[in-house]
Amino acid sequence: MSQKILERYPSLKFPVTLAKVDNQYTSLQNSLPPKSSVEFLDLGDAEGRRTYERTLVFLLDYISKKREVTIKIEHSYGNAIFGRCLKGNLNLRSVKKEMQDLVKKNKNIDRAMLPKLEALHYLSGREDDINILKNLAASYIPVYKIDGFSAYFAGPLLPNTSFISTFDLKPVKGGFLLILPSKEDPLSVGYVEERKKLFNAYREAEKEAEILKIWSVSQLNQYIIRGEISEILKIAEVIHSEKITGICKQIVQKRRKIQAVLVAGPSSSGKTTFSKRLGIHLRLHGIEPIYVSLDDYFLERDKTPYYKDGTHFFDAFSALDINLFRKHINDLLKGKKTERIYFNFKTGKREKSTGIIELKKNNILIIEGLHCFNPALIKNIPLETFHIYVSPLTQVNINRVNRIPTRDLRLLRRVFRDTRYRGYNAEYTLKKWESVKDGEEQFVFPYQERADVMFNSSLVYELAVLKVFLETPLRCVPTSSPYYCEALRLLNFLDHFLNIPEKEIPQTSILREFIGGSTFLY
């Protein structure tokens, strides 16, 4: 059995003996109905990596609690997770040693599905757990336990500490990094690249959460319960407006040196609406924007490159007609009139529009798209640029130790937009998400530090609004689909939010780009 497992799962690298794997495999296989099979998760799998991360956080919280220290896990940072101490301080070297000792002791991490009231009793003293569970519409709650310590997690943990092989703890300004294994080599600690601008953007998001007094879902839910969410919506939107005003001022101050504003960011970040709103602010200063979207320069379907699974790789740099884009930009810089083009996502064809654009003295180009920061995009084009990176840097987590990945927020935005406007169902979007992630890792994230400024496009309330729209398309993913479990995972964490109706969301909000009702033309 051992050799068979290794042949089928070559990336299985948890530090357990093959005999132990054999026993667990056999035990699980025997407990399942006939013709069922066990599939192993590893660190090359998204859910395997999430499970590993949650287990590390669980152990860190357990050890911190013994030392009367309260930690808070905030966001990802490349191959690491950033956290900080809300109460007390940790000697990270000592904590790491104790975590390693736990691994060596092969301690079981017990999972109990308890009736809600019983779960709340077990979690007595963990107010952040209790506050989120009070409003969760579930009869039974999973509670994880080790040595008398209990905690709630919104996803599964590993069953034994011995499955934890590789990690590190490092101090950073304002907190610590819990470093995960490398995606390429799970037996090695992942490399953490310094990203100062991204780190500062997260710190700004933290300050915004403090202004709103909302950093957890339970706090957001309390505003909904008290009927005070309208005020939160207004403040969140004003924060966006104030930040766009500040960015506009920077551009105006450098106007003589800037011919184009390049707006980049990963999929479903709200780049288009941000660009439109920035353009309105610039018009107040006598600067007329000309909008150019890289989405309109997609190659037609028959010329689009393919991903490794045989589907089209839309997020690849080579999926764009770069030569046509460069020709149009060069023509504009030479004072030539240029015909606008439009890409129809439903037909996969480029269409001509009736518009003609011409770059005049009071104009500025606003070019937005995934690949705007890639130096190859405007290679050999004499264009003076200002770079803006747009991404929803989630400032709200489920609770103190259950974080909501920024990537999940973008995925949910995209599921809704695809089902409503691009003719794709949720299953198709979930299937394509792997290529989207690969495209970001290859073509977007390596260039994000080129930004002159970063704009956090998340809205503290948005998942409570998206929940209303997303439940139906996610529940329509068939049980036979390989993406059914992913749909359930997303539904599970959306269940933590109470609903917010969309009626109060301004028609110029970035969220309107995804749920509809925007006054901007796309």
The 10s digit of each residue's pLDDT in 193-202 is 889 999 999 9
What CATH number has the domain bearing residue 73? 3.30.980
Token pair belonging to 123: 């979690």
Residue 78, pLDDT score: 87
Q: Is 217 a residue whose pLDDT tops 50?
A: yes
Based on the fold, state whether residues 476 and 328 are members of the same structural domain: yes
- Secondary structure in 3-state letters for 108-130: ECEEEEEEHHHHHHHCCCCHHHH
Q: Is 166 a residue whose pLDDT tops 70?
A: yes
Residue 5, pLDDT score: 38
Please, are residues 164 and 55 in contact by the beta-carbon 8 Å criterion? yes
Amino acid at 99: M
Residue 30, pLDDT score: 61
Based on the fold, state whether residues 443 and 344 are members of the same structural domain: yes
What confidence category does residue 32 fall into, taking pLDDT thresholds of 50, 70 and 90?
low
Quick check: is 209 in a domain? no
Based on the fold, state whether residues 353 and 243 are members of the same structural domain: yes
Quick check: is 267 in a domain? yes
Domain count, the chain: 2
Quick check: is 397 in a domain? yes
Please, are residues 258 and 367 in contact by the beta-carbon 8 Å criterion? no
Quick check: is 132 in a domain? no
Q: What is the mean pLDDT of residues 236-244?
A: 96
Tens of pLDDT, residues 307-351: 998 888 999 999 999 999 999 999 999 999 998 888 888 788 888
Based on the fold, state whether residues 175 and 248 are members of the same structural domain: no
Quick check: is 471 in a domain? yes
Catalogue the E-assigned strands of 153-299.
168-172, 175-179, 260-264, 288-293
Q: Is 294 a residue whose pLDDT tops 90?
A: yes
Q: Is 25 a residue whose pLDDT tops 50?
A: no
Residue 69, pLDDT score: 96
Based on the fold, state whether residues 165 and 264 are members of the same structural domain: no
Q: Could you report how far apart the first and last alpha carbons of the chain are, in Å?
A: 56
Q: Which residue has the higher pLDDT, 422 or 466?
A: 466
What CATH number has the domain bearing residue 255? 3.40.50.300
Based on the fold, state whether residues 383 and 284 are members of the same structural domain: yes
Please, are residues 377 and 383 in contact by the beta-carbon 8 Å criterion? no
Please, are residues 78 and 190 in contact by the beta-carbon 8 Å criterion? yes
Please, are residues 265 and 389 in contact by the beta-carbon 8 Å criterion? yes
Residue 354, pLDDT score: 67
Q: Which residue has the higher pLDDT, 256 or 101?
A: 101
Quick check: is 251 in a domain? yes
Residue 36, pLDDT score: 55
Q: Is 16 a residue whose pLDDT tops 90?
A: no
Quick check: is 498 in a domain? yes
Write down the residue that tokens 């994230």 correspond to: 445
Residue 102, pLDDT score: 94
Quick check: is 193 in a domain? no
Based on the fold, state whether residues 173 and 277 are members of the same structural domain: no
Q: Is 24 a residue whose pLDDT tops 90?
A: no
Rounded Cα distance between 404 and 132, Å, is: 14
Q: Is 409 a residue whose pLDDT tops 80?
A: yes
Based on the fold, state whether residues 310 and 166 are members of the same structural domain: no
Tens of pLDDT, residues 471-519: 999 999 999 999 999 999 999 989 999 999 988 899 999 999 998 888 8
Based on the fold, state whether residues 382 and 464 are members of the same structural domain: yes
Based on the fold, state whether residues 168 and 251 are members of the same structural domain: no
- Least Cα distance to 238 among 270, 265, 264, 212 occurs for 212
Based on the fold, state whether residues 300 and 166 are members of the same structural domain: no
Please, are residues 369 and 293 in contact by the beta-carbon 8 Å criterion? yes
Based on the fold, state whether residues 175 and 267 are members of the same structural domain: no
What string of DSSP letters covers 115-183? EHHHHHHHTTT-HHHHHHHHT---SEEEEEEETTEEEE-SS---SBGGG----EEEEETTEEEEEPBPS
Write down the mean pLDDT value for the chain. 89
Measured CA to CA in angstroms, residue 283 lies from 125, 280, 305, 506, 519 at distances of 54, 5, 39, 20, 17
What confidence category does residue 17 fall into, taking pLDDT thresholds of 50, 70 and 90?
very low
Tens of pLDDT, residues 433-450: 999 999 999 999 999 999
Residue 187, pLDDT score: 85
Residues forming a β-bridge with 387: 262
pTM score: 0.89
Q: What is the mean pLDDT of residues 265-276?
A: 96
Q: Is 40 a residue whose pLDDT tops 70?
A: no
Q: What is the mean pLDDT of residues 391-411?
A: 92
Domain of residue 310 covers 239-515
- Least Cα distance to 160 among 65, 64, 43, 55 occurs for 55
Residue 87, pLDDT score: 95
